[in-house]
Structure 1
Amino acid sequence: MEAYANIKLVKATAKRFRRYAQKLAPTQSEALDTLIDAHLKLAKESGQKSKSVQSIMDRSDTNADRIIALLRKIEKDQIKPMLGMLQVLFGYSSAQEQSGPKKGRSKAGGPMTETDFKKAFAVIDLKEEKLKLAADLELARREIHGLLSKKTEVVKPTLGRPYIKLQLYPEELKTLIAKYKPKT
């Protein structure tokens, strides 16, 4: 004898299924098996996926696109400064070799001086600092967005204007205030 399991359904849906199952098969289990098999076969033949599977696929495609965009940004912002540093060190780029001296060379076209190197490294340091600040800003934005979306609630009293309730422990609030306090 086979073991049985309970499935909770809304009464109206259960009644509809029982009426349909009587017409389709001798038992409700066989009717449900037939429906599931038909659904899987139809999905396989048509190549379509259910809405939930399709939404998961769309999300993964979106995440992959975000990762690709992030990698491209990293290539642009982190690899290009290295290329720029090399160009400054050697005084030219391969694309503009014929056009004459580059930015990094001294005015007379001679060898680079120590000040030229210092300027080049200062530019590289500024770019790295800019990238770090941008990453910190993005992290702070995500943290604040998460806080606002998960820990806030709109309260609509019967009298008066609606207001926002912040669901934090006092220690969490003190930590956030200290973390985002403007530097003077």
Structure 2
Amino acid sequence: MEKQSTNDRTKKGSGGYSNITIKKETAIRFRSYSKKFGKSHSEVLDGMVCYFKENNLDPFGEGTKIILDNIKKLERQMMKKFDRLIAIIKNMEKTSIRPTYEMMLILYEAYVRDGRKPKREPVKIREERMDFLEPRNIVPKVEHERILQDFESYKKHCNGMLQNVEKVEPMMGKPYLRLNMDIGQFEKLKHHLR
């Protein structure tokens, strides 16, 4: 069978074989190394040569330095990403976790305070008033009617607000009520109540 040089190959794995003379100790080491991959000696050697070529590595010179520099560069990039993650977690803690905890603590304290029985104040007996003969403040009829009209409009406004209240049942915690009102109406209400 004729020997073919590696330059004459057209496909990987096609072609004949060639002999290379190497030391016996090196051949033993290479055979034991190539057994780890479960491939032929030619495939392992070809893979090693491709790896060195693609990564521009020189096994006798700066090859290990390049690899170490790449590892250090990746390590620096990973540390920067870890710092970003830590910053995101700290921001979440400040903006959402801590305020939620504070609100829950306030609600819990209010619940505990409301859960206690209120102390009954002693009943004060009023002294008999003798001023019933004195004239009292009387509201004129016109002003009384105006107050009643204001009260009716306030009552309508309150009923309108109650129509916009909906019950929300969250997955955690007690159900609560939510008022659906746009910002303009809210500002108008605030101004009106001043």
With normalisation by structure 1, the TM-score equals: 0.30
Q: Which has the higher contact order (CA 8 A, sep 6+)?
A: 1
More helix by share: 1
Normalising by structure 2, we get a TM-score of: 0.29
